[in-house]
Chains A and B, each alone.
Chain A
Amino acid sequence: MCTVGGGPDIGNIEALVAKDYECLDCKSKFKGMGRRPMCPSCQSRNVKPA
């Protein structure tokens, strides 16, 4: 899913398939990728794409 590093060079992070999310419990906003998003601040699964 995600590789960081690669010998002589790394980068192209702009190509990351990430979505913006908002936590419906603590209202924090974050960018995430993966199948089961969770709020990194309060660990709630009650999040939605922003």
Chain B
Amino acid sequence: MSNLHEAMHISFKNDEIAYLCGQKSTIAFTKTLGNFFYLETETEETVLFTEPEDLMVASAFGTGDKILRGLQCTLYQLRELGAPLIVLPKGHPASPRLKVVVSIGPRTRLSCKIQPGTHPEQDVLCGSEEFADLEILAEPGGAEARGFSFKMGIVIIKQL
């Protein structure tokens, strides 16, 4: 059943992280605070600039406390420690071993049909089928989750 017509506003503070916990996967997001982020490839470095209300969204397959902590750790490293985002070249053996994937910007759309070779300039993030076509949009004081309802899972807000 499609939940695309449903939208939920999720309020959270700048020092908090919001989780959407499904049956098989988990999405986490927090504000970028207008920080910039380094995208590193084998050959060059690109700086990604953001607006204060923009979001950093992380997606992981799996549920439970380990997954929540892993997502929090990823977002904390990026935002608070200024860790760079490492972009692996196509076909790199580490790619299928990634546990958490990240998207940064005002809008992120989850897709379970993502083509191998995600395009970094796009706003699509790999997610499980249960969150297919879910959109996370930045809003003042939080985010809007389009296509999410409490039938699909629960929302948890925690300190980042």
Given contacts A10-B95, A12-B120, A13-B41, contact A2 B49 (CB under 8 A): no
Which of A3, A11, A38 interacts with B125 by CB under 8 Å?
A3
- Which residues of chain A in 1-44 are interfacial with respect to chain B, using CB atoms and an 8 Å cutoff? 1-13, 15-18, 30-38, 40
Give the interface of B toward A (CB within 8 A). Answer: 34, 36-39, 41, 44-51, 54, 85-92, 95-96, 98, 100-108, 114, 116-126
Number of A-B residue pairs, CB cutoff 8 Å, is: 144
Contact present for B120 and A8 (CB under 8 Å): no
Q: Which residues of A contact B37 (CB under 8 A)?
A: 2
Nearest B residue to A31, CB-CB: B46
Closest Cβ of chain B to A27, distance in Å, is 16
Q: Is the CB of B121 within 8 A of A17?
A: yes
CA distance A23 to B149 in the complex (A): 46
